[in-house]
A and B are shown apart, each in its own frame.
Chain A
Amino acid sequence: MILLRFPWLTLLWTLPLVGSALLPEVAQVRHARRWAMLIAAATFVLGAVLAGLRTFWGQSLVEPAVPLFAGMEYRLFVDGLSALTLPLVGLITTAVLVAGPRQDFDHPALSAILATAGTTLGCFLAADLALLTFFWVAMLVPALRMIARSTDFVARRLMLRTFGVVLVGGALPLLAAVLVLSAGERPYDLLIFAERDLAPHQRPLVFGLLTLTVMIRMAVFPFHAWLPAFFQRGRLGIALLFVCTNAGIYLLGRVGAPIMPHTSQLPLLANLALISAIYGALLALVQRDLLRMLGYLVVSQAGSNIVAFASLTEPSVAGVLLQGIAQGAALSGLTLVIWGLRARLGTTDVLKLGGLATPLPRMAVAFLLFAVGLVGFPGTLAFVADDLLIHGVLEAHPIVATLMVLATALNGITLFRAFTGVFLGPPRGSAALIQDLLPKERWVVAAVVASILGLGLFPSPAVSLREDAVKSIVLRISN
């Protein structure tokens, strides 16, 4: 019983944050990185145990509320909607710290990654909208600090101006929504959010503000420019935590769905998201830089996910939630491989690379596996997610679904072109002495591949874990 009363959820988000604060005390970077890995691994294990408990117990895990100020409460919980994200954050953080190139990790970088992981977890654990907003804003701070440390003046300015949109533009509407909702008793409690009696004019206003936040955070056209720039010039570890957790969809499902005024408000979001899906796919097709290409692929896939969510059918919403996990894992693996290439060859320009399958055969296989995992090839989790998603969207909008499938097809072509450009063909330049995947990288690749294929071949537990959450979202909106 004592074990059950222990604040495990608080421990989950504070563990990486405390680690982040204490890392500068460790003298050598080598040791600091080991500590960071240990903390990330512990976070992953704890997240996995909590998600497992939620699965087997079948009920939400809730920590008692502690009143703070102005109606805000410190209260954490885990339900089907957030359960799988907890181990995913731990997995991505561990993978980045273990397999990321050594030269990219100094004390501030290690601290920033752990701090981003901690605040991201806080965001997904919060049972109070104001608390969630606090974590939402806090999540951006480590990234901004790292950008401010950049020595490249143009890159720093570009990042500050594009990423600044996310910080200010993305957080202000959410803060405004919190202010609008401030009246009444326990105004931010997400456990009873659906039962809140909002004034008729409040619902569209709050939902509109939330939609704007989601669009900026998920890099929906025309708010997308920060994401490719962040991938190309920002810190990749932080970029992965930003993108792979699908916080925007979570906000839409957790807060947006219960207060959605009318489904007729969704077409604007869905139309922009559809444009985003096609626009991202088109621009990814012509990118020379692999990381920028990944950025546009994420823009395209995020667009498809929002379109599917806006379709509001049970399969499409289940597909979107599953897609978050599938794309998170595959994108992490792919980014780590490209990061490894950059560390070895000093470039991610496809025109300067080529014929690397001979010196780097394992890297080539890993790239291909993650690429097929990202575009939904049979046997991977993304296939299951895509299948659900397309069935759901087609039920509601056949033409939209066809355009989405076309965007996915373009993304597949883009990734295969990148694979052939980098790994096949005659070698460009001397690459004979570069080393293939190191043992530590191989372990990470094997773990991520195992998770993608394992969940892809046996997806039922992952789908059923979120069944209740999906049903409640669709039911609330249809009511």
Chain B
Amino acid sequence: MNTWAQWAIVAVPGLPTLAFVVLGVWLFAAKAPSERAIARLASATFSIAAIASIVVVWGIITHGERVVPLGTWFHAGSYHFEFGLRVDVLSAAMMALVTLICGLIGRFSVNYLHREAGFARFFLLLFLFATGMLLLVMASGIDQLFVGWELVGLTSALLVGFFFDREGPARAGVRVLATYRIADVGLLVGAVLLHQYAHTADFGQAFAGRWPLGVAHLTPGQADQVALLFLWAAMGKSAQFPLGGWLPHAMEGPTPSSALFYGALSVHAGVYLLLRISPILEQAAFATYIVAMVGLVTALHGALVYRVQTDAKSALAYATVTQVGLIVMEVGLGFYRLAIFHLFGHAVLRTFQLLRAPSALRDALNLQQTLGAAAHPQSKFARWLPPRWRPVVYGLALERFHLDALQDRWLLGPLFSLALWLDQLEQAALRGLVRASKIEARHP
């Protein structure tokens, strides 16, 4: 392969990584650099990365898919953690999308976060997110994909808590991270199982043939196991039913990060994972049925809840859930190319809408003044429902189908109650051990 093409592939994730290291060391060792310096660093990073990604995409069009092996990170016994960058049709499309949107968001944020106390922190996390997302989409193997996945998860939770002097963002950050961590169990266990079944973590070796027509070297049972575990991970990251309760809470973060994470990129990471393992899905009949059902239920849930939201960002969050649900359903039905087009279009449109969200109220008022009552579109959707069902569905949609409450009551509540009961039991045992009441009476 041409050296320049290799360098271009390495430069795409390498540049944001370098920018993250430079800004991180600068912030830790000295005072925060000026906004102008950070803005220049961001625009240089993303501009060069975007040019490099155009070169890479051109290389794919002219020469076909490429893999740049970067060596073995570490090994023990027969297990090797290989590091490399894979660029095929799927990853090239996502890579171009990531560099494009990160560059746009970076430029937008320079003005939007002007004189904000966390200006440097935002860009530090943006660089880390871009690194993680690019490692995720360009990973040559599932182990490496997990590295990017985790980076995206942590930066997401930290950006939700960006306005850290308020209670809401801090709590929302914990909710996001907790959902991610529980869902990530699926990715980690699935990755190790794939490694064990296929005897490799490398996509090129595990799936014979070009994406999406490859064949996985797994039995149908193994394929179902691995696919369901990956689906669990994707449900967390892509806010699929019933794990999507965190998405509206995540809108506590600054608008550019909401656009980046929950409009454009992070929310599609789960879809990317499912698309990447499409050769496994092809052999996992049961799992694909579940994938399609999860997507369908999510889309219906999102569409109903979207219609009763009263603030722009929550409405956009549920509109996103609806569309991502549809994309997941397309993946489940085997329409992989359609899913990529849908993903690309949705990411771009939703980024635009979320970036425009702060001006939405003003736009709405202008529209109302111009058009009068006609500005409120009348929904025909409700007519499909029998009249006595309408208030029930309306009430459920208004309460977001009680998903958060159900999770709190049936999952978190019992978990915390059990832990508190065990703690009390242990404390009582310890107090008995030292006969604390007698001692306290004797030594008040």
Q: Report whether B185 and A463 are in contact in the complex, using a CB–CB cutoff of 8 Å.
A: no
Interface contact A154-B174, CB-CB below 8 Å: no
Question: Which of A129-137, A140-148, A420-428 binds B?
Answer: A420-428
- A residues near B166, Cβ cutoff 8 Å: 425-426
A313 CA to B192 CA, complexed, in Å:
14
Contacting A at CB under 8 A, from B73-94, are 73-79, 81
* B266-307 Cβ-contact flags toward A at 8 Å (1 or 0): 000000000000000000000000000000000000000000
Per-residue CB contact flags for chain A residues 395-411 toward chain B (1 = under 8 Å, else 0) read 10010011001100110
- CB within 8 Å for A402 and B189 given contacts A412-B177, A426-B165: yes
Q: A162-B433, A282-B419, A285-B416 are in contact. Are A319 and B76 (CB under 8 A)?
A: yes
Name the contact of B189 in the complex, choosing from A379, A401, A416, A420 (C-beta under 8 A).
Answer: A401
Contacting B188 at CB < 8 Å: which of A287, A390, A416, A426?
A390
- What residues of A have a CB within 8 angstroms of the CB of B174 in the complex? 413, 416-417, 420
In this assembly, does B106 line the interface, its C-beta being within 8 Å of a C-beta of chain A?
Answer: no
Contacting A377 at CB < 8 Å: which of B150, B195, B423?
B150
Asked if A388 and B79 make an inter-chain contact with CB atoms under 8 angstroms apart, the answer reads: yes
Contacts A157-B439, A424-B161, A424-B164 given: A412-B181 contact, CB under 8 Å?
yes
Chain B contributes a number of interface residues (CB within 8 A of A) equal to 55
> Contacts A405-B188, A416-B157, A420-B161 hold; do A463 and B420 have CB atoms under 8 A apart?
no
List the B side residues contacting A392 at CB < 8 Å: 76, 79
Q: Which residues of B contact A287 (CB under 8 A)?
A: 423
| Alpha-carbon separation in the docked complex, A378 to B146 (Å) | 9
Question: Roughly how many angstroms separate A279 CA and B419 CA in the complex, as a whole number?
Answer: 8
Q: How far is the CB of A360 from chain B (nearest CB, A)?
A: 12
Of chain A, the residue at the smallest CB distance from B183 is: A409
The reply to whether B165 and A225 contact each other, CB–CB distance below 8 Å, is no
Q: How far is the CA of A232 from the CA of B425 in the complex (A)?
A: 18
Per the 8 Å Cβ criterion, residues 440-479 of A in contact with B are 446, 459-460, 463, 467, 470, 474
Which residues of chain A come closer than 8 Å to B189, judged between CB atoms?
394, 398, 401-402, 405
B422 interface neighbour in A283, A412, A459, Cβ under 8 Å:
A283
Which residues of chain B have C-beta atoms less than 8 A from A426's C-beta?
A: 165-167
Shortest Cβ distance from B75 into A: residue? A463
Q: Which residue of B lies closest to A406 (CB)?
A: B185
Chain A residues closer than 8 Å to B422, beta-carbon distance: 279, 282-283
Does A47 touch B at the CB level, under 8 Å? Answer: no
Q: Given A154, A162, A394, A423, which contacts B439 in the complex, CB threshold below 8 Å?
A: A154
Chain A CB within 8 A of B331 CB: no
The reply to whether B177 and A413 form a contact with Cβ atoms under 8 Å apart is yes
Interface centre among B181, B193, B426 (most CB of A within 10 A): B181
Which residues on the A side are within 8 Å of B185 (C-beta)?
402, 405-406, 409
5 pairs from A and B in contact (CB 8 Å cutoff): A157-B434, A390-B192, A405-B189, A420-B170, A463-B75
Point out residues on A near B: beta carbons under 8 Å. 153-154, 157-158, 161-162, 225, 229, 279, 282-283, 285-287, 313-315, 318-319, 355, 357-358, 362, 365, 372, 377-379, 383-384, 387-388, 390-392, 394-395, 398, 401-402, 405-406, 409-410, 412-413, 416-417, 420, 423-427, 446, 459-460, 463, 467, 470, 474
7 closest A-B pairs by beta carbon, nearest first, are A314-B77, A318-B76, A424-B170, A424-B164, A378-B147, A409-B181, A282-B419
